[in-house]
Amino acid sequence: MTRGPAVYAAVVNDDAPRSGSPVTDWSTDFDHTTEGWAAAAPAIWDELRVTCPVAHSERFGGTWLPTRHADVAAIAHDTEHYTSNSVIVADFRPDVPAPMGFAPPITSDPPFHEFARRLLLPAFSPKAIAVLEKPAREFCGQLIDELLATGPVVDAATGYAQHIPVRVIAHLLGVPAEDGDRFRTFIHRIVERPGQAGPVAEEDLLTTYLFRVVEEHRQSPRDDLVSYLIGLEVDGHPLSDEHVIGTIALLLIAGIDTTWSAIGASLWHLARHPEDRARLVADPEVMTFAVEEFLRFYAPVTMARIVAEDTEIGDCPVAAGDWVLLPFPAANRDPAAFEEAGRFIVDRQRNRHAAFGLGIHRCLGSNLARLELRIALEEWLKRVPDFELSDPDGVRWSTGQVRGPRTLPVRVLGREARDVTREG
Amino acid sequence: MRIEFDRDACVGHNRCYLLAPALFDVDDEGYAVPLVGGELPVELEAAARLAADNCPEFAITIEGGDA
Ligand code: HEM
Ligand code: SF4
């Protein structure tokens, strides 16, 4: 069953506050692209879950925000009443090419979704991903050594966390890691400020960049994911250019900000919790559980759906064409689903967190993300067992659907650093 | 203790494979492959409980054993 794009008329209400403008009432006018949200999202979710568990905002032409685990899980599993064809909330309803969407499989609905996803699954299975452990470890170590050489106060977000997923994804896809800054510009435009960036020159578009990448790979195929996608044949036909480009764009976008955010948020936590640092240094086995607790407590990714057919969230009626934010991070803090949900427990034994989503769109890169997060933290703690925030007020969290610290100034303690900086 | 695995509910989070490799392998597409079915030897009960308690899709259930 394929759904045409024409069903979703643009319904932006001119009287509603402009998206991005400051919010005063989160239960009737929430906006995830504001600095207010960035600064306090977990508190907003906890409050709404009690006072208004399916909140509504007129912004973006009408958007819902469920915060209970049960509601988020039900929507993620319901591909009949909700479509994934647009997963980033914006002021307009994009005119989407059904059934594939712009970035298969994340923007595809059944049955096309399964086709697009299965092409990729083998490349991201835990056994396929395991070979990246060694190069990732070396790269993390090298990055930290270079960073520490610059002095005892460093930005762990822009100096460390940010570079890890760029490097890993560039390696997998077969694009130059030096293009990292360009990837981040694309991502910022698409994820952090959707629709608010103004016009972009053709030359600076992600698709223009990717067409060039595909062309280069066509001329000289190599052993990487881009060449694999170009070489695929289904019933004797190669995939369409739109499919190949959309999927590469997805892998770039989905793998970078998300993982960067998870690593950064975990380091933010460790900078403020010496007891958890000490536990992980003394007992490295705890890391298996810690990684999942970081992912639960600091889950970076909120997805979105568009209501495809009128339905209800809990008892709350929602209409075709409405946006629904799918805040997996809020679900992860629901006391109905987790014991002591509001507490970070470094070795939590029961942890069915939904950081990688639920249902058929379960994060394709979850094994890769988990590997990057674990290695990034292990290599950091090996070299920097002791550190603190050097400027707590200087930490800035991102706006939009991917949440993580975008600046994270920390002071490295121990070593000679302590003597130099603590007195000054 | 008995363990049951629901293949239709599994979407390949791979938490079970990571936490209980003696009970679950993983196929080429990342879906769980149970290695042991039905009644479990006592020494695998803790691993089974861990797998069940961490599967986000509730695809693994255990019955009996010490609660
Ligand atoms: C900590 C890091 C990450 C988090 C928290 C995360 C989270 C998510 C979530 C919540 C979804 C579900 C989307 C939905 O329900 O609509 C998803 C899907 C996806 N993620 Fe990730 N992700 C991370 C890293 C990665 C990485 C490293 C890659 C790959 C390079 C990746 C690739 C994908 C893809 C391709 C999908 C779409 C799967 C589908 O629709 O079938 N992600 N991710
Ligand atoms: S944890 Fe659950 S969903 Fe994930 S692979 Fe195991 S059984 Fe499947």
* Distance from C-alpha of A95 to C-alpha of A12, rounded to nearest angstrom: 15
Closest CB to B14: pick one of A126, A350, A351.
A126
Select from A116, A243, A259, A121 the least CA-distant residue to A183. Answer: A259
Split at pLDDT 50, 70, 90, the class of A12 is low
Residue A17 pLDDT greater than 90, yes or no? no
Whether residue B56 lies within 8 A of chain A, CB to CB, comes out as yes
Tell me A301's DSSP state: B
**Which chain B residues have a beta carbon less than 8 Å from that of A362?**
11-13
Strand pairing category for A387-389 and B60-63: unpaired
User: What is the rounded average pLDDT of the residues A233-257?
Assistant: 91
Q: Inter-chain contact B11–A362, Cβ cutoff 8 Å? A: yes
Determine the topology of domain B2-63 in CATH.
Alpha-Beta Plaits (3.30.70)
Take atom 3 of ligand 2 and give the residue whose Cα is closest: B10
- For residues A223 and A321, give the distance between their C-alpha atoms in angstroms, rounded to a whole number: 42
CA distance B3 to chain A (A): 17
User: Are the Cβ atoms of A362 and B15 closer than 8 angstroms?
Assistant: no
pLDDT for the residue numbered A119: 94
Dihedral sign for Cα atoms in the order A321, A322, A326, A331 = negative
B46: closest chain A residue by CA = A349
| Pairing between β-strand A323-327 and β-strand A63-66 as defined by DSSP bridges | parallel
Average pLDDT over residues A315-327: 96
Domain definitions of chain B by residue range: 2-63
Does residue A3 sit within a domain?
no
pLDDT bin (cut points 50, 70, 90) of residue B28 is very high
Q: What mean pLDDT do residues B27-31 have?
A: 96
Determine, yes or no, domain membership for A424. Answer: no
Torsion of CA B50, B56, B58, B62, to 10 degrees: 0
Q: List, for residues A182-219, the tens digit of each pLDDT value.
A: 888 888 777 766 666 566 776 678 889 999 999 999 99
Q: How many CB atoms lie within 10 A of CB A206?
A: 20
Ligand 1 pocket: which of A248, A366, A374 to mutate (most atoms <8 Å of CB)?
A366
Q: How far apart are CA A143 and CA A11, in angstroms?
A: 47
- Return the residue whose CA atom lies nearest to atom 2 of ligand 2: B55
**For residues A338 and A129, what is the distance between their CA atoms, to the nearest angstrom?**
30
The CA A372 to ligand 1 mean position distance, Å, reads: 14
Neighbours of A164 (CB within 10 A): 22
Query: Total structural domains in chain A?
Result: 1
Q: What is the pLDDT of residue A156?
A: 97
Interface predicted TM-score (ipTM): 0.95
Taking 60 as the threshold, does the pLDDT of residue B18 lie above it?
Answer: yes
In a domain, A90, yes or no: yes
pLDDT digits (tens, 9 = 90+) for A19-44: 889 999 999 999 999 999 999 999 99
Q: Output the pLDDT for position A197.
A: 58
First to last CA, chain A: 66
Q: Report the pLDDT averaged over residues B42-49.
A: 96
Distance A302 CA to ligand 1 centre (A): 10
Count of Cβ atoms closer than 10 Å to residue A364 Cβ: 23
DSSP code of A342? T
| Window A:67-126, CB contacts with B under 8 Å | 118, 121-122, 124-126
In this predicted structure, the answer to whether residue A4 has a pLDDT above a threshold of 80 is no
Q: Measured between CB atoms, does B12 come within 8 Å of chain A?
A: yes
Q: Which of A118, A360, A370 sits opposite B29 (nearest CB)?
A: A118
A380, with CB counted inside 10 A (0-12, 13-18, 19+), is buried
Q: State the Cα–Cα distance between residues A380 and A145, nearest whole angstrom.
A: 10
Cβ <8 Å between A288 and B12: no
Residues 6 or more apart from B51 whose CB is under 8 A from it? B3, B15, B16, B19, B20, B23, B24, B60
Alpha carbon distance A391, A268 (integer Å): 12
| Cβ separation A352–B18 shorter than 8 A | no
CA of B38 to nearest chain A CA: how many angstroms apart?
A: 22
Mean pLDDT of A70-87: 96
Residue A62 backbone zone (phi > 0: left; psi -120 to 50: alpha; other: beta): left
Closest CA to A106 of A76, A143, A147, A136: A76
Residue A73 has pLDDT above 90, yes or no: yes
Q: Do A288 and B19 touch (CB under 8 A)?
A: yes
Chain B nearest-CA distance from A209, in A, is: 30
Quick one: which of A294, A313, A320, A257 has its CA closest to A374? A294
Quote the pLDDT of residue A422.
41
The span from the CA of B29 to the CA of A25, in Å, is 45
Element (H, E) at A155: strand A153-155
Query: Is the Cβ–Cβ distance between B33 and B24 less than 8 Å?
Result: yes
pLDDT of residue A115: 93
Q: Which of the ligands is closest to the CA of residue A167? A: 1
Q: What is the pLDDT of residue A179?
A: 86
b (16+ CB within 10 A) / e for A277-303: bebbeeeeebbebbbbbbbbbbbbbbb
B26 touches chain A (CB under 8 A): yes
For residue A223, what is the domain's CATH number?
1.10.630.10
Q: How much is the mean pLDDT over chain A?
A: 91
* Among candidate residues B12, B30, B66, B34, the one with its CA nearest the CA of residue A123: B30
Q: What is the pLDDT of residues A282-304, one digit of tens each?
A: 999 999 999 999 999 999 999 99
Residue A1 lies in a domain: no
Give yes or no for a contact between A107 and A85, defined as CB atoms under 8 angstroms apart.
yes
Chain A residues with beta carbon closer than 8 angstroms to that of B54: 292, 350-352
User: In terms of residue numbers, what domain contains A213?
Assistant: 8-419
Neighbour tally for A309: CB within 10 Å: 13
Least confident interval from A93-97, A265-269, A309-313: A93-97
Please list the residues that pair with A387 across neighbouring strands.
A412
Q: CA-to-CA distance for A85 and A67, rounded, in angstroms?
A: 22
For residues A3 and A375, the model is more confident at A375
Predicted pLDDT of residue B27:
96
pLDDT on residue A240: 92
A114-151 pLDDT, tens digit per residue, is 999 999 999 999 999 999 999 999 999 999 999 999 99
Query: For the packed helices A133-148 and A366-383, what is the interaxial angle rounded to 10 degrees?
Result: 40
Is residue A360 within 8 angstroms of chain B, CB to CB? yes
- A147 and A376 Cβ atoms separated by less than 8 Å: no
